[in-house]
Amino acid sequence: MNEHVFENLQNDWSLLYTCRTLQVLHFDRNFGNEDIRLIELNTELLEALENDGQLVLRGDADENSVICSQNKTFSLKECTTSNSLLLVPDLSVSTESAELQCRNVLCTKFEYYEAKLSRGKLDKLKDQLAKSGYRGEECELELNSELMTWNGIIETVQASEEEIRKRLDELGAFEMNGNWRVLDHEYKTVAMTRVVDLLIEKQWSWECVPLVEACRILEELQPCFVTEICLRLYGDAVEDNTTGESDTVGGVTIRLSEAKVSRFYGEYILSASIEGKFSVSEFMYSWQDVLPEGMKCDMDHLAGLIMIDKDLISYLPVSSLPIDPPQRFAALFMKKPKWTHDEIVPFVNDLAGPGQTVNALLLKYCRSSTDHATNTKVYNSKALIQN
């Protein structure tokens, strides 16, 4: 067959000279392999593959797969093309010498996957870890939920390793006996309350809490690592500006975050209420009363946790709302028909992916108008005018 190809080219040496290497394509015996999928790599993914040597596909059977580099997550969208995409292993691109080569075509494809930068899907991580929350050594034998190792996490959570580690840090997760855990919500509330009570008892400033001493004093009530997790979760280590060392001799000093501690107690009061509602003035009084001396409560500290309507404040954590954007907006407008920009943004901010703005989401799912009573721009549901 090769001889016939050369005979056909003898009258057109310019083509042979231009192509240099000519390749004859044969359809492989196993042509049409349906197990093969094509993914178009964008610049970021190609660089990640060349530098790190690997990309990872993540997703269960009932999920849309994502592809992850070491620090980013990309959603996959199936696309079609009218052109035939031939998969030919060892296809030569050499121009060194004129020669004829035979290559096998494994399959022809008209579909491929396009990768788009997106946020890691980390909601599952919090839910899975909460099932095995740490409630004290005495409760460890009662655990019924399967514990999560690092390998188990990266096999089930659709996000890059860097995004997962960042989220674990935000959740105050810790590794115990090879498994990743978080403090049980109620247990953490009790533990943190003990820490704040200790500050009041010892008359320590919330801006300068001695970590080692706090752990030692509370050791009879809770493990030292629990006290440390609480302090680091709601504060930051303070270092001497000149030496780079802790400014408390013999240990680290923690400066509690006013916003984080304020948020902690605000959520505690709201979630403990049977009705989950307070008048704004009543709530503000109760909230300020439980904070350490010198701290001030601020409604901004509760962004994404509360809804205010007609001087009533209600507990509405973002985590309780649907993840799907249309369902999220529908749920919000069921709670309250009109929202100002500042009110609604904390509840939809997490829906905006890379390169997408919250305002774009509002334009897509809401219609805006002016509340003439307050001369304020408000948003309500587009669905109301689609019927």
| Predicted local confidence at residue 3, as pLDDT | 55
The stretch 62-79 carries a mean pLDDT of 90
Three-class SS state of 148: strand
Q: Are 213 and 252 in contact (CB under 8 A)?
A: no
What is the residue-averaged pLDDT of the chain? 85
At 113, the pLDDT band (50, 70, 90 cuts) reads: confident
Percent of the chain predicted with pLDDT > 90: 54
pLDDT confidence of 243, banded at 50, 70, 90?
A: very low
Minimum mean pLDDT range among 58-62, 215-219, 220-224: 58-62
Least confident range of 58-62, 267-271, 272-276: 272-276
Q: What's the token pair of residue 304?
A: 């994404």
Beta bridge pairs of residue 209? 254
- Rounded to whole angstroms, the maximal C-alpha distance in the chain is 99
Q: Which of 378, 302, 381, 299 is nearest to 340 (CA)?
A: 378
Per-residue pLDDT for 85 more than 60? yes
Of the two residues 336 and 272, the one the predictor is more confident about is 336
- DSSP, collapsed to helix, strand or coil, labels residue 38 as coil
Tens-place pLDDT, residues 12-23: 545 555 555 667
State the Cα–Cα distance between residues 111 and 39, nearest whole angstrom.
9
Statement: residue 346 has pLDDT above 80 = yes
Kindly give, in sequence order, each residue whose CB lies less than 8 Å from that of residue 361, ignoring residues fewer than 6 positions away: 325, 348, 351, 352
- Nearest-10 Cα torsion for 278, 280, 281, 285: 70
User: What is the reported pLDDT for 48?
Assistant: 86
Specify the DSSP element, H or E, that contains 92.
none
Say if residues 137 and 226 touch (Cβ distance below 8 Å): no
- Give residue 217's identity as a one-letter amino acid code: I
Q: Which amino acid, residue 38? A: L
pLDDT at residue 384, rounded to an integer = 53
Q: Which region holds residue 306: left if phi is over 0, alpha if psi is between -120 and 50, else beta?
A: beta
Which pair of tokens denotes residue 240?
């001497």
